[in-house]
Amino acid sequence: MTHTDQLTDVRSTPRRKVLISGASIAGPALAFWLNRCGYAVTVVEKAGALRSGGYPIDVRGTALDVVRRMGILPQLQDAHIDLRRLTFLDGNGSEVTSLHPHAVTGGVAGRDLEVRRGDLTDALYMAVRDDVEFVFNDSIDTLDQSDHGVDVTFRGGGSRTFDMVFGADGMHSRTREMLFGPEEQFHRYLGYCFAVFTMRNTFGLSHETVMWNTPGRAAALYAVGDDEVHAFLNFAQPEPPFDAYRDPDAQRDLVAKVFADAGWEVPGMLAAMRDADDVFFDGVSQIHMPRWSSGRVTLVGDAAYAPSFLTGQGTSLALVGAYMLAGSLADRDHAAGFAVYEHDTREFVTLNQGLVDEGGATLFPTTAQALEQRNNRLRNLSSIPFAEGRPAHSALTLPEFTPMT
């Protein structure tokens, strides 16, 4: 997939005011590029501050070109985790095989990056904080579109008018719900739930992941450094547990019930989960939408096209989508720009969302036969990482556009 359009600035245009909802990854990345294109950007974030720390995320393929153009690639390279080993265990805790992670993920050693989520969000924020208005501890309450712009009222009080509004507020996007209706119509549940949290590293692990599997269940310990590990519990669940999504106690109860008879280190992980203050629980899902915009409002990142962690491409899609959206608006009005953004980005999104089957089959087989087949495939994998990543990771060549100075 290549792009030949050269996107250019109209430097004489007065600075148009735009609002971005969400300050995780897609939001600040979009703010950076829109500011470079001459827009006056405000970012509103419901949290009181940037979320530091967090689980590791991947930046691969085309997204590496985005962060290079932003000037933050060296900073991310310094923060690279350099995970060195991925070990799979059977239900008895015996080793199935141990591989370099890239042999499984399709990443490219020495090129693709894995960093703590907070390291990326900090780098994005530092790159744009002096040029963009950030409003924390607030969110959009209502949107009212008209010919002259979008009238926005905020939950914290007050109202303002913007030329455009962008929803970068994640899979469970409030902006999307206001614009297009309930999430259920776009939500594609993939049959799993997961919980992730941090716990003390009492296992002697360093820069490695160990994953235990039985049919329909997986438990993993992900050691970024030496002091703590990210604990991960994933399980097959035929229907999404809607009652648990907003009830932390119900989430813990559900996970504990599913893993009640599990061996290996799982009992200790369940005990740590009860005391952890950073448990994140959700269903494994994707977002599929026939269109990403309506009027003067559009969506970017997980809000528009969440691929699920099974693809390993959520962060990369957010970064690439932000660049493509801003570039499409560099010399166009909202209607033409949104159309170009969808046209030029959708194939890349579709290819990367399509990686989900590979991830599910590799990490979380749901039957004994499928698990044994998976284990046999893993044993036969070369321990040498790929020289090239999966084609979907780099299936889009970024167009050039001339930012304002």
Please, what is the average pLDDT of the chain? Answer: 90
pLDDT digits (tens, 9 = 90+) for 173-199: 999 999 999 999 999 999 999 999 999
pLDDT digits (tens, 9 = 90+) for 78-112: 999 888 899 999 999 999 999 988 777 766 666 78
The CA-atom distances, in angstroms, between 86 and each of 98, 195, 369, 394 are 6, 20, 22, 24
Report helix, strand and coil shares of the chain as percent, to nearest 5. Answer: 35, 25, 40
pLDDT digits (tens, 9 = 90+) for 317-350: 999 999 999 999 998 999 999 999 999 999 999 9
pLDDT digits (tens, 9 = 90+) for 192-230: 999 999 999 999 999 899 999 999 999 999 998 778 899
Three-class SS of 45-94: ECCCCCCCCCCEEEECCHHHHHHHHHCCHHHHHHCCCCCCEEEEECCCCC
pLDDT at 4: 37
Q: Which residues contact 285 (CB under 8 A, 6 or more apart)?
A: 171, 187, 188, 189, 190, 240, 306, 308
Is residue 115 predicted with pLDDT exceeding 60?
yes
**What is the spatial distance between Cα 273 and Cα 199, in angstroms, rounded to a whole number?**
8
Structure tokens at 149: 């712009």
Which of 13-22, 38-47, 259-268 is the least confident region?
Answer: 13-22
What is the pLDDT confidence band of residue 1, given thresholds at 50, 70 and 90? very low
Phi, psi of 204 (to 5 degrees): 70, 25
Q: What are the residues facing 294 on neighbouring strands?
A: 297
Which of 63-77, 138-152, 200-214, 357-371 is the least confident region?
Answer: 357-371
**What average pLDDT does range 219-248 have in this prediction?**
90
Q: At which residue do the structure tokens 């040498």 appear? A: 384
**What average pLDDT does range 383-404 have in this prediction?**
74
What is the pLDDT confidence band of residue 13, given thresholds at 50, 70 and 90? low
